[in-house]
Chain A
Amino acid sequence: MKRFITVSLSLMIAVLLFAPQQVFAAKPVKIGVLVPLTGIVAQGGLEMKYGIEMAAEEKGTVLGRPIELIVEDTRVKPPVAVTKAEKLVYKDDCKALIGVFSSGVGLALSKNIDKLNVPFVSTHVMTTKFYGLHPLVFRSGQLANDQTAVGNVKGILARPDLKDRTYYVIVHDYSWGHDAGERFIALAKENGIKVYNDTYDKAPIKTKDWSSYISKIKASGADGVYMAFITNVIPAFAKQTSDFGLQGKVKLVSAAAPGPLELEAGGEACHGIFGASDWAWDVDNANSNDWEMRFWKKFNTIPSDAAVHSYVGAMNLFNAIEKAGSTDAKAIADALRGISFDGPYGNVRISAKDNCMRNSAVLTETMAAPENPFGAKVYMKVLKTFTADELGPPE
C-alpha cells in the first residue's frame, strides 16, 4: 500500500511538472482576421484572407506554437467590425488583430483599441490618420493616401501625356475618399498640376449609374480625372466613361489599384487607368515572381494587391510575435515598431516613429496583358518605380 501511494504521488508530481508545458506548447497562438466577406468589397476581402492564410501556412509556427487564424466578416461596417473584434479578443482569446478594409472601419476599431488591448495591424487602410494614431495600431500593407498622392503626382509629372491636363477630382463619400482627394489636390497644386474642382465631388458609395458625374466631367472640359473609388468600382466607372466615348480623351488616374478580377470583367474599357500602387503582378523580381506563382497554385486566383498587402502585413506580425518572445500586447507592439519583411514588393518596414510602413511602390497603367500564367487579359503594367524615400513621409 505504501509503495502504491509513493508511486501514485510520484506520477502526479511528474504530470504536474511536465504536462502543463506540453499542453501549452501545443496551444495555438490565435490571431483575429477581420476582412469584409460580404458587401461591396467582398472580393477584396476574400483576397486579403487568402494572403493572410498563405502567410500563416508558410510561417507555420510562432513561439513554437501553431498559428490559428479566426476569420470574421466585417461587412465593411464599423459597428460590425468592432463587435467582431470584441468577440475575437474576449471570447476567442486572439492575441492580435489583422486585416480590415476601409479607413472608416480601421478608425472605428482603433478608437476601441485601448479596451481591446491587443495589437492591430491594418493591411488595407489608407487614411493618413493612422500615422502615430495609437501605440497598438499599425499599418503594414497598402500605401497611405499621402504616399499614393506623392506617387501619382510624381507619375503625372513624369508622363508627358498626363502632366499638362486639368484634373477633375471625384471620390467616394467617406473618410478615405475625402482624405485621398484632399491629399492629391494639395500636392497637385503645389506642383503646378491643374485641378478643376478644389471642392471635389463626393459620390455615395452605392452609386451604380455614373452618367450624371460623367456629364459633369464632360461639361467641365477637364481632360483628366483623379478618382478615389473603392477598388471594385474603378472598372465600372472606367467602363461608363468609355461608353460615353471619353476613353483615351480623358485620362483616368486612380488613388487605389483596381482589383485584377474586376479588370478582367471590365475588359478593354479598363485600359488606360494610371495609378501608384505598392505592387502589381508585373513587378519583376525573383521574390515577386515566386510569390505570385505560389499564390496562383494555391488559390487559382489572379494575384492581387489586396492579397499581397495582407500577406506582407501578416508576415510582419508573425515575425514580431516571434521577436517579442511572448504574446503580450505591449511586447508585440514594441517588436512591430521598426520590424521589416522582404517580400514581393521589396523591404516593407514599419516605422518606429509612427507605426506605419515605408516601402517602394510602382506607377502602373492598365492595358492588354501579354501572355501570362494567370490567363489575365488586362494587367497593370509597371511604368516607373518609386523608392520608399521618394514616397515618404520623412521620419
Chain B
Amino acid sequence: MGGTIGIIVDISLNSLVLSGVFLIVAIGLNIIYGLSRIMNMGHGALYAVGAYTGYTLVATGFNYFVALVIAPIIVGGIGLLIERTIIAPMRKRSMVYTLILTYGLMFFLDGMIKYVWGNKPCFIDLPAFMQGTLSILGTQYPIFRLVTLFLIAGIMGGLMLFLNKTKVGLILRASSTIPEMVSCLGINMSYVHMGAFVLGCIMAAMAGIIAGPLTTIDPLMGSEMLISSFVVIVIGGLGSLRGAVLAALLIGFVQTLAEFFITDLAMVIVYVLMAVILAFMPRGILGEGKFE
C-alpha cells in the first residue's frame, strides 16, 4: 500500500488539507480582529452553522458546490444580524465586553445547533466524481481531499484578489492599519466594521462546509475548531494575514507529523510550539501581530 514516497505524499497532502481548513477559519477570525478589534468567540459556532447549513442544503437536493455558495451567504446574513444587533452597540466599549458577549453568542449558537439538528453526527454527501481515490506516486488518496485543496486555494486566491485589487479591499486593508485616516477620508467606519464581521462569518461558513466531508459534522465541531484557529492566529500574530498563512501551514504540518510519528504527544507538541512562539515572538512568527 505504498512505500516511503507514498507515506510522504500522504503526510504532505494531509498536512495541506488540515492547514487549509485552519487557514480559512483563522483568516476569518483575523479579519474581524484586524479590522474591528473584536475577538469573536462565536466564530467556531458560525463555522459549525456553516457546516450544518451546507449539510441541510445537500440533504435537500442541492449540489455540494451550490451549497458551498449558498451556505456562506446564509451565515453571512446571520453575521450581519449579529453585528447590527449585538456587536455594534458595544463597539465603543472595552474589548472585554465584546469578548464576553461573543462567548455568550457561542453558547447560544451551540444550543441552537442542538435544537435544530440534534446530537447525532452528520456527513455531507459528495458528488459522484468526488468519491473514490486517485493513485498518486504509489498511494491511494481520496479525490475529494484533492478537490478540497483546490477549493481552499481558490478561496484564498479570491480573498487576496478582493483585498488587493478592489476598492473595498483597499479600504479594508487601510482600515486595519490606519483607521483614523480612513475615517478622515469620509468613509463610514461603521460599514467597515460591519463588512469585516460579515466577511469573517462568510469565511467561517466556507471552512465549515469544506471541513464537513473531511471529518464529521457534530455540535462540538465549532468549539474544537475555535481553539485550533486561536493557536493559528496567536502563532501568526493577531491581525496578521500573512502570519496566519504561515502559522496554518506550520500547525498543519506539525500536527500531522506528530500524529504520525509520536501519536500520544501530538497535541502537546502543538501547544508547546504555541507557548514557545508566544514567549519569544509575542507578535507572531512574522512580528506583524497587533496587540492591544
List chain A positions with a Cβ less than 8 A from chain B: 38-40, 42-43, 46, 173, 201-204, 206, 208-209, 211-213, 215-216, 218-219, 221, 232-233, 235-236, 239-240, 243-245, 259, 261-262, 264-267, 269
Name 28 A/B residue pairs within 8 A (Cβ), A-sorted. A39-B220, A42-B219, A43-B119, A46-B119, A203-B263, A204-B267, A208-B215, A208-B221, A208-B224, A209-B215, A211-B10, A211-B214, A212-B14, A212-B255, A212-B256, A212-B266, A218-B2, A218-B7, A219-B6, A232-B121, A235-B123, A236-B121, A240-B215, A244-B133, A244-B140, A262-B121, A265-B120, A267-B123
From 95 to 137 in chain B, residues with beta carbon under 8 angstroms from any chain A beta carbon are: 114, 118-123, 132-133
Q: Is B56 an interface residue (CB 8 A)?
A: no
- Of all chain A residues, the one with the shortest Cβ separation from B142 is A243
Determine the distance from Cα of A244 to Cα of B141 in the docked complex, in whole angstroms.
6
Are B122 and A265 neighbours in the complex by a CB distance under 8 Å? yes
Q: Is B230 an interface residue (CB 8 A)?
A: no
Interface centre among A43, A203, A206, A211 (most CB of B within 10 A): A211
- Distance (whole angstroms) from the CB of B52 to the closest CB of chain A: 13
Interface size class of B (residues with CB under 8 A): 35 or more
- Of all chain B residues, the one with the shortest Cβ separation from A37 is B119
Q: Is B264 an interface residue (CB 8 A)?
A: yes
Q: Is B259 an interface residue (CB 8 A)?
A: yes
Determine the distance from Cα of A38 to Cα of B114 in the docked complex, in whole angstroms.
9
- Distance (whole angstroms) from the CB of B263 to the closest CB of chain A: 5
Chain A residues with Cβ below 8 Å from B119 are 42-43, 46
Are B216 and A236 neighbours in the complex by a CB distance under 8 Å? yes
Are B120 and A262 neighbours in the complex by a CB distance under 8 Å? yes
Are A173 and B142 neighbours in the complex by a CB distance under 8 Å? no
- Distance (whole angstroms) from the CB of A255 to the closest CB of chain B: 18
- Of all chain A residues, the one with the shortest Cβ separation from B214 is A209
- Distance (whole angstroms) from the CB of A306 to the closest CB of chain B: 12
Are A221 and B221 neighbours in the complex by a CB distance under 8 Å? no
Query: How many A-B residue contacts, CB cutoff 8 Å?
Result: 104
From 1 to 34 in chain B, residues with beta carbon under 8 angstroms from any chain A beta carbon are: 1-2, 6-7, 10-11, 14, 17-18
Determine the distance from Cα of A259 to Cα of B263 in the docked complex, in whole angstroms.
27
Q: Is B64 an interface residue (CB 8 A)?
A: no
- Distance (whole angstroms) from the CB of B238 to the closest CB of chain A: 24
Known A-B contacts A43-B118, A212-B14, A267-B123; the reply to A219 vs B263 at CB < 8 A is: no
Interface centre among B123, B133, B144 (most CB of A within 10 A): B123
Q: Is B260 an interface residue (CB 8 A)?
A: yes
Known A-B contacts A42-B219, A202-B264, A236-B121; the reply to A244 vs B142 at CB < 8 A is: yes
Interface centre among B7, B17, B218 (most CB of A within 10 A): B218
- Of all chain B residues, the one with the shortest Cβ separation from A47 is B119
Binary contact track B126-167/A, C-beta < 8 Å → 1, others 0: 000000110000011110110000000000000000000000
Are B140 and A245 neighbours in the complex by a CB distance under 8 Å? yes
Chain B residues with Cβ below 8 Å from A202 are 263-264
Are B267 and A208 neighbours in the complex by a CB distance under 8 Å? no
- Distance (whole angstroms) from the CB of B258 to the closest CB of chain A: 8
- Of all chain B residues, the one with the shortest Cβ separation from A239 is B123
Determine the distance from Cα of A38 to Cα of B141 in the docked complex, in whole angstroms.
35
Determine the distance from Cα of A258 to Cα of B106 in the docked complex, in whole angstroms.
29
List chain B positions with a Cβ less than 8 A from chain A: 1-2, 6-7, 10-11, 14, 17-18, 114, 118-123, 132-133, 139-142, 144-145, 214-216, 218-221, 224, 255-256, 259-260, 263-264, 266-267
Determine the distance from Cα of A239 to Cα of B214 in the docked complex, in whole angstroms.
10
Determine the distance from Cα of A221 to Cα of B122 in the docked complex, in whole angstroms.
30
- Of all chain B residues, the one with the shortest Cβ separation from A223 is B1
- Of all chain B residues, the one with the shortest Cβ separation from A173 is B264
Determine the distance from Cα of A244 to Cα of B133 in the docked complex, in whole angstroms.
6
Known A-B contacts A219-B1, A236-B216, A244-B133; the reply to A213 vs B121 at CB < 8 A is: no
* Further 7 A-B residue pairs, CB within 8 A, beyond A42-B114, A43-B118, A216-B260: A38-B114, A203-B263, A204-B267, A208-B224, A219-B7, A236-B216, A243-B145
Are B123 and A265 neighbours in the complex by a CB distance under 8 Å? yes
Determine the distance from Cα of A218 to Cα of B221 in the docked complex, in whole angstroms.
26
Are B221 and A245 neighbours in the complex by a CB distance under 8 Å? no
Partner of B266, one of A204, A211, A219: A204
Chain B residues with Cβ below 8 Å from A46 are 119
Interface centre among A40, A235, A245, A264 (most CB of B within 10 A): A245
Chain B residues with Cβ below 8 Å from A236 are 121, 123, 215-216
- Of all chain A residues, the one with the shortest Cβ separation from B221 is A208
Determine the distance from Cα of A204 to Cα of B260 in the docked complex, in whole angstroms.
13
Are A211 and B14 neighbours in the complex by a CB distance under 8 Å? yes
Determine the distance from Cα of A29 to Cα of B259 in the docked complex, in whole angstroms.
50
Determine the distance from Cα of A233 to Cα of B140 in the docked complex, in whole angstroms.
23
Chain B residues with Cβ below 8 Å from A262 are 120-121
Chain A residues with Cβ below 8 Å from B263 are 201-203, 213, 216
Determine the distance from Cα of A65 to Cα of B17 in the docked complex, in whole angstroms.
59
Are B214 and A245 neighbours in the complex by a CB distance under 8 Å? no
Are A261 and B120 neighbours in the complex by a CB distance under 8 Å? yes
- Of all chain B residues, the one with the shortest Cβ separation from A261 is B120
Are A212 and B121 neighbours in the complex by a CB distance under 8 Å? no
Chain A residues with Cβ below 8 Å from B264 are 173, 201-202
Chain A residues with Cβ below 8 Å from B215 are 208-209, 236, 240
Are A245 and B120 neighbours in the complex by a CB distance under 8 Å? no
Partner of B260, one of A215, A232, A243: A215
A-B pairs with lowest CB-CB distance, top 4: A212-B259, A208-B215, A42-B119, A43-B119
- Distance (whole angstroms) from the CB of A219 to the closest CB of chain B: 5
- Distance (whole angstroms) from the CB of A43 to the closest CB of chain B: 4
Partner of A40, one of B11, B142, B214, B220: B220
Are B140 and A215 neighbours in the complex by a CB distance under 8 Å? no
Partner of A209, one of B18, B114, B122: B18
Chain A residues with Cβ below 8 Å from B218 are 40, 232
Determine the distance from Cα of A287 to Cα of B121 in the docked complex, in whole angstroms.
30
- Distance (whole angstroms) from the CB of B149 to the closest CB of chain A: 13
